[in-house]
Amino acid sequence: MKILVTGAVGFIGSHTAERLQHLGHEVIGIDNFSPYYSKELKNLNKKALSSAGIQVLDYDLRESNLETVLPKDINYIFHFAAQPGISSTSSFEDYFSNNIIATKNLIDYALQLPDLKLFVNIGTSSIYGLEATFPEDKAPKPASHYGVTKLAAEQLVLQKSREKQMASCSLRLYSVIGPRERPEKMYTKLIALGLKDEAFPLFEGSDKHLRSFTYVGDIVDGVVSVIEKEDLVNGEIINLGTEVEHTTQEGIEAVEKVLGKQIKIDVKPKRPGDQWRTKANIDKARELLQYNPQTTLLEAVEKQVAWYKENFL
């Protein structure tokens, strides 16, 4: 199969592109190399993809003429590209243009593909709101610009399934961790600051937040499993993550155990829109995709620490 992966040099997109190539598919990546975080990591990911034989196009999905730069013989689209997370440095316009306009442009391109089997939107547990412990039919209550715009993007994609214009599904991911995690995310920052003996900024009360910290390899297992299952997943929303919950404090302690040192903490004011609990309800993923994440939190942290030391020390 010929597969397009958007956001291909990002954290989860790069892992998915590699897995798809390893499975024998022809993979083309696209990424706008956004300055949201250092290009050093993105270029590192691009180098890994190039080594695997994956071409990555430097192009912005917010440009409307995608058919002029992308091939017409794509069979699957995995849409990871987005303005990520909850950040005070991102404006509403950033979320709107990257998550809604870019997705609409990609849909317009997809509708021109004669051999497209499935458009896979990558959603997020943030769509559910401050608590994300629900099955997929629960009414969403997003509490951030990120969650609101990702919900809109998801519905734009699924609209085309309802109109029977293309097959599509949306995968809502839960608290993904592991090698290549973005530098502002919890575990990469914990590891980096812990190794430098600098204080980790912890939002007040967040040490008690509960998360389904899910290893990126387990997430990718679920993502790629939709291939050749378009009849089963068309029009569906599917949660992917682990059912095991850990507090943020337990995450900090896992990093401390692997590093063999205590991490200094600098408590910051609460951050609005931050989820206080996520626990992936994956009954539907088990039924449709035989999804069964297995990696423990400590195993995931060990892999992430090893990756960080190899690439940044």
CA distance 206 to 194: 18
Cα separations (Å) of 97 from 195, 206, 303? 37, 30, 34
User: Largest alpha-carbon pair distance within the chain?
Assistant: 56
CA distance 183 to 47: 18
Buried b (16+ CB within 10 A) or exposed e, 201-221: ebeeebeebbbbbbbbbbbbb
Nearest to 180 by CA among 216, 212, 126: 216
Sheet strands (E) in the chain: 2-6, 26-31, 55-58, 76-79, 118-124, 131-132, 168-173, 176-177, 200-203, 210-211, 214-215, 237-240, 246-247, 265-268, 277-278
Q: What sign does the CA torsion over 88, 93, 182, 168 have?
A: positive
Residue 95 known to be catalytic? no
Tell me the DSSP string of 270-284.
--TT--SEE----HH
The answer to whether residues 200 and 263 touch, using CB atoms and an 8 Å cutoff, is yes
CA distance 22 to 29: 14
For residue 295, how many other CB atoms are within 10 A of its CB?
A: 21
Q: In the structure encoding, which two tokens stand for residue 31, read together? A: 């990424």
Q: In the structure encoding, which two tokens stand for residue 300, read together? A: 């995931």
Catalytic residue among 36, 109, 128, 146: 146
Residue 176 phi, psi dihedral angles, 5° rounding = -80, 135
Catalytic residues: 146
